[in-house]
Structure 1
Amino acid sequence: MIKITVPATTANIGPGFDSLGIALNLYLTLNIYEATEQWLVEHDYQEDMPHDETNFIVKTALSLVPDLMPHRIRVSSDIPLARGLGSSSSALLAGLAMAKALAHLNIDNEELLDHATALEGHPDNVAPALFGSGVSAYYDGSRVYHAPLHLPRNINFVTFIPNYKLMTSNARKALPANLPFKTSTAASAISNTLIAALNVDDFNTARELIEKDLFHETARQHLVPELSTIRDIAHHLDIIGTYLSGAGPTIITIVPKKDTQQLIDALSAANLPGKILQLEPDFQGLSITTERRS
């Protein structure tokens, strides 16, 4: 059996629109079993998700290796769908990794990243899911430029996952077609300084800048009203660093470990309609292992 594991991701991190991402410790797991005449995809998702070669993971694998031999596979995941935690990116990478493993392709992670980004359109989720930890990345349409994003080791990601879904396509529609030049330069300066602050362990500056996004959060806030509520709750506790994860609706606060339980208790007391999780960075990224049955 071949086992493929891909972590969830949180993207944007405030002002790092379509470029910053962090891998988190929720996972999609793909187990590959015996070869079959036709693809058989076992899963516990809703019934409208295909169980055959039309499944997204299989279609992605076939985009890399069109004549890939069918197998029985099992997909399980604790990454919620359409919540801004990289569920589609994890499935995409699982499909590419399956093609690599079954076809014994001699390709490295850089080539996997190029292919995944070309399919996804931007690298902010696929890069950290592939490499683990934090990644800053830019795609110029043909090549992905990326560098590791330094993360403090003493932080947790207090994560609120609303009960409702928000499709990325709908969240994209809320964005402005253009930004004024002065707004764009300010937004870029905020993002650049955030990265610099993280890379020198200046978390006090970084957490302030996480809340100063000018690219997307203002345009999307009406779609996720809990963002301002959670930010207010955190500020009341003198905790700064709340942002919209990806396109939303998940909301994350990056918290020093010592303040984690205090924030969780306050959010629980607010009785917001959703689930609260305490997450941590995943530092490994995508893994492929072969397990031999005895």
Structure 2
Amino acid sequence: MGDPGRAVRIRVPATSANLGPAFDSAGLALTCWDELEVAVADELSVEVAGEGADSLPTDGSHLVVQAFRAACDELGWHPAGLRLSARNGIPQGRGMGSSAAAVTAGVLAAWALCPEVETVDRAAVLRLCSELEGHPDNVAPCLLGGATLSWTTGAGARAVRLDVDPRLVPVLFVPGATLSTSVARGLLPDVVPHADAAHAAGRAALLVHALTADPALLLDATEDRLHQAQRAPAMPDSAALLARLRADGHAAVVSGAGPCVLVLAGGDPAGTAAYTPEGWRRLTLSVDVDGAVVTAA
């Protein structure tokens, strides 16, 4: 059943997926975190502070709890309950990977606390997290840190980690409004023209080189035809900001499903300060190189 009171601390980073043309395959870990303490207990208790404290559930429907229980089922371990205390720094529902962070934290907690497990199998964690999320583009950088490329095979999700050029500075423009990922996905067409698919393949390949070796190419490398314009009706303010930034030479993309806008700045993030719309936050971050971190409480 597990030892009541046994606990771990978990820190999981925010992430930005797609990065323009690499739809559902590229992601970037960011220095903005949710920090959680999870302990085996006789019953369930959930406390939430920080982002989402006034809206996230504090019962079994909390996403960390759901992911924890799914991982326990896979491990064949059934603790009576758990105590979850979360201090969230990742904005909710804005395209910064808040759900991927919750899923990753819950699955890692189960692996770390299960008395039958000696070491965490991150490949297995990635596969389960991707199944729970529906795709690996956010959970991969959340788990591994840096930039990641992810894909799915018959055996489940896989990912590789890339070291990002140190000159790259991520800048996030965060609106007050949220956007459901399911709503954003519902705006995408079932088919795209061959020319747009070819364009995406070329730009996504260039993106790998730009991220890792030559940030000067990021404006071209982040050009997208697959999803951003199609989703613009659901986030007109984000689309307008994106257009302004790119017209002025900034490598801006919609972060994940939006409505956040991410600029991959090449060394001078201060140049984007004047673009901040009223009511938005501007966050100058770094690339998180560690990914999810688990320590004994």
TM-score (norm 2): 0.89
Q: What per-residue deviation string (whole Å, max 9, x for no partner) do you get for residues 222-268 of structure 1?
A: 222234433454357x54200000000000111123x211311x124
> In structure 2, do the counterparts of structure 1 residues 275 and 48 end up closer, same or farther at CA, with 3 Å as the change threshold?
closer
Q: Distance in 1 between matches of 2:86 and 2:293?
A: 15
Q: Distance in 1 between matches of 2:97 and 2:246?
A: 27
- Secondary structure, aligned partner of 1:285: coil
Q: Which residue of structure 2 aligns with residue 75 of structure 1?
A: 86
Q: Distance in 1 between matches of 2:210 and 2:280?
A: 32
Q: Which residue of structure 1 aligns with residue 272 of structure 2?
A: 263
Q: Distance in 1 between matches of 2:38 and 2:230?
A: 42
2:284 pairs with 256, 278, 282, which one? 278
Does 1:60 find its partner at 2:67?
A: yes
Contact kept in structure 1, 2:210 and 2:221, CA below 8 Å: no
1:41 pairs with 41, 46, 58, which one? 46
Moved more, 41-50 or 59-68: 41-50
Q: What per-residue deviation string (whole Å, max 9, x for no partner) do you get for residues 12-49 of structure 1?
A: 0000100000000111111124x432110111345553
Q: Which residue of structure 2 aligns with residue 251 of structure 1?
A: 261
* Number of equivalent positions: 283
Residues 74-223 of structure 1 mapped to structure 2, 5 A cutoff: 74-104=85-115, 105=117, 106-199=119-212, 201-210=213-222, 212-223=223-234
Deviation at 1:163, TM superposition (A): 0.9
Moved more, 143-152 or 125-134: 143-152
RMSD: 1.9
Contact kept in structure 2, 1:68 and 1:99, CA below 8 Å: no
Contact kept in structure 1, 2:43 and 2:81, CA below 8 Å: yes
Q: Which sections of structure 1, spanning at least 5 residues, go unmatched?
A: none
TM-score (norm 1): 0.89
Q: Distance in 2 between matches of 1:251 and 1:91?
A: 21
Q: Distance in 2 between matches of 1:260 and 1:47?
A: 32
Q: Which residue of structure 2 aligns with residue 6 of structure 1?
A: 12
Moved more, 133-142 or 156-165: 133-142
Contact kept in structure 2, 1:62 and 1:68, CA below 8 Å: no
Q: Distance in 1 between matches of 2:20 and 2:246?
A: 16
Q: Distance in 2 between matches of 1:255 and 1:196?
A: 15
Q: Which sections of structure 2, spanning at least 5 residues, go unmatched?
A: 1-6
Q: Distance in 1 between matches of 2:89 and 2:160?
A: 27
Q: Percent of aligned positions with the same letter in both sequences?
A: 30
Deviation at 1:120, TM superposition (A): 1.2
> In structure 2, do the counterparts of structure 1 residues 48 and 161 end up closer, same or farther at CA, with 3 Å as the change threshold?
closer
> In structure 2, do the counterparts of structure 1 residues 235 and 117 end up closer, same or farther at CA, with 3 Å as the change threshold?
closer
Contact kept in structure 1, 2:203 and 2:220, CA below 8 Å: no
Q: Distance in 2 between matches of 1:118 and 1:183?
A: 28
